[in-house]
Amino acid sequence: MRVPPILFLMLSLWAPAQVPRGLVVSQERLASEAGAQVLREGGTAVDAAVAAAFALAVVHPAAGNLGGGGFLLSRAADGRATFLDFRETAPAAAHPRMWLNGGVYDEARHHASLASVGVPGTVAGLREAWRREGRLPWARLLRPAIRLAREGFSLTENQAASLAAQFPEFRKHALTLAQFSKRGRPLKAGDRLVQRDLARTLARISRDWMDVYRGETARLLLRELRANGGLIRAEDLRAYRPVLREALRGSYRGVAVLAAPPPSSGGQVLIQALGMLEAFDLKAAGSSSPTAVHLVSEALRRAFADRARHLGDPAFNPDLPLDHLLSKAHVEELRASIRMDRASVSSTEGFQWPKDRPDTTHLSVLDRQGRAVSLTYTLEDSYGLKRIVPGAGFLLNNELGDFNAAPGLTDAEGLIGTPPNLAQPGKRPLSSMCPVILVKDGAVFLVSGSPGGRTIPSTVLGTVLQVVDFGMGAQAAVDAPRFHHQWLPDRIQVEASLPAATVAALTALGHAIKVVPKQGCAQVILVRHGQAEGAADTLRWPDSASVSE
């Protein structure tokens, strides 16, 4: 059928810019390859993300998961943005004082007990994303994960080291030790990791995703929780639903920003910080210069202060002042308080945040049609509770540790008790995850995200600034030195690779400095001059890989 000229013109104006190849970038090569193969078979970016995420549950058990939750931000070929919240929820038995024992805060209960397990959202979230934007059969997307779990895979040096680091914790749980050891001894590089119970669970999910919520997998999960003090019941599993939300929207130097809304704080911190920084000439200052690090840290300080005071699950905080926090007037007020000649002082009359663990994982996907996915998900701690569900082969999360400790409880260790993020039935704990997609001239420009707890927005902000302000390519932006400020504690955390002269100058301005070996693990896709560049963060996680279709 011949297309009328006017319709052809309209379609050509609407049609997204295509790229010569699709890309999948994640923390494990086997997962990236699983997603890239899906793209080769004609799958969408969401198809590839789903396949890679299930593969990560097998080959990256520290954070890839079936028993956790997260967020998926996608941009379709026609420009529509979708944000899917599949964060874990608190069970019906949850309440604001649930982390107290005889009126005293119990950290072990908050972070290391079965009471800290949230209702898992990963499988429901990936299924909903596929239902909306997938093309290939659901069972096809789980095939790589099932094979990797059933047949096993050879551990890399990095994977073996990650497992070995957790060995003392694994010893506390016989099933976890059995799954991640060789007759009770640590696995070594080259050893094959086979996970048959996990393979059977994945096979059940490939036939019926609801198995996690009301089938055999649900039965195995509930039996373990009931027997050992967990709070989740069958009704909690049946009630779980992912939530479709409006992505936060901002702009920075003419580039549109799509980012995560609450209950993630990542988008708020990112967009606020960018708004403050837009008035400064960072390019003239230079990447990793004292001026640039000082300004970015001061912007982060202020954005994180707002995060701590105001953010939580919007379903339980109907008056959440997000419009005000992101308004031009408020951002300009925050910017006006930044001094060029000295560091600000974070008020100790305020408060800090509950412990937010750094062990998350992120993947970025772009397909040939210009569709993009930025997906971040987690178990909370590295390997969650380090506890395998008997017969199901997957690890439990300890995600409810992201709730505040108790009403009104504030101490020098960083506990707070403000209402927006106290535990309640069905509530989703506040997160720092920050999946982001940047759009330039109507097409995807940058896809970014990272693990790292509260450092996530800082890491993602860094990748944006390195590309937009300093003109770096994808790999240079990922490899650049990183730093982080979160209001309290009042210090800049810097990677050891930040120039010594910069650290000295920051100290002279009054900043306290904490040096760390590494921060985050960004996985980035950048589209420049019609070409897609994938950048895996091999400096900070050697197994990271960018794989093209």
Determine the Cα–Cα distance for residues 432 and 356; give it in Å rounded to an integer.
8
Whether 179 and 388 have beta carbons less than 8 Å apart is answered as yes
CA separation (Å) from 379 to 54, 132, 218, 265, 501?
14, 25, 18, 17, 38
List the catalytic residue out of 89, 201, 291, 360: 360
Determine the Cα–Cα distance for residues 226 and 240; give it in Å rounded to an integer.
18
Q: What is the dihedral of CA 34, 40, 41, 42, to 10 degrees?
A: 120
Determine the Cα–Cα distance for residues 547 and 181; give it in Å rounded to an integer.
30
Determine the Cα–Cα distance for residues 236 and 63; give it in Å rounded to an integer.
23
Residues 6+ apart with CB under 8 A from 541: 27, 158, 521
Determine the Cα–Cα distance for residues 456 and 388; give it in Å rounded to an integer.
27
Determine the Cα–Cα distance for residues 520 and 432; give it in Å rounded to an integer.
12
Q: Active-site residue 502, yes or no? A: no
Closest CA to 439 of 247, 257, 253: 257
Whether 48 and 54 have beta carbons less than 8 Å apart is answered as no
CA separation (Å) from 413 to 98, 351, 358, 442, 474?
19, 10, 17, 46, 37
Closest CA to 359 of 176, 540, 107: 540
529 Rama sector, left if φ>0, alpha if ψ -120 to 50, beta otherwise: left
What backbone phi and psi angles, to 5 degrees, belong to 101?
Answer: -130, 105
Residues 6+ apart with CB under 8 A from 399: 68, 69, 87, 88, 116, 117, 118, 378, 379, 380, 429
Counted residue by residue, the chain has a size of 549
Helix H segments across 326-455? 328-336
List the structure tokens of 361: 């994982």
For residue 107, the tally of other CB atoms under 10 A from its CB is 14
| Residues acting as catalytic residues | 360
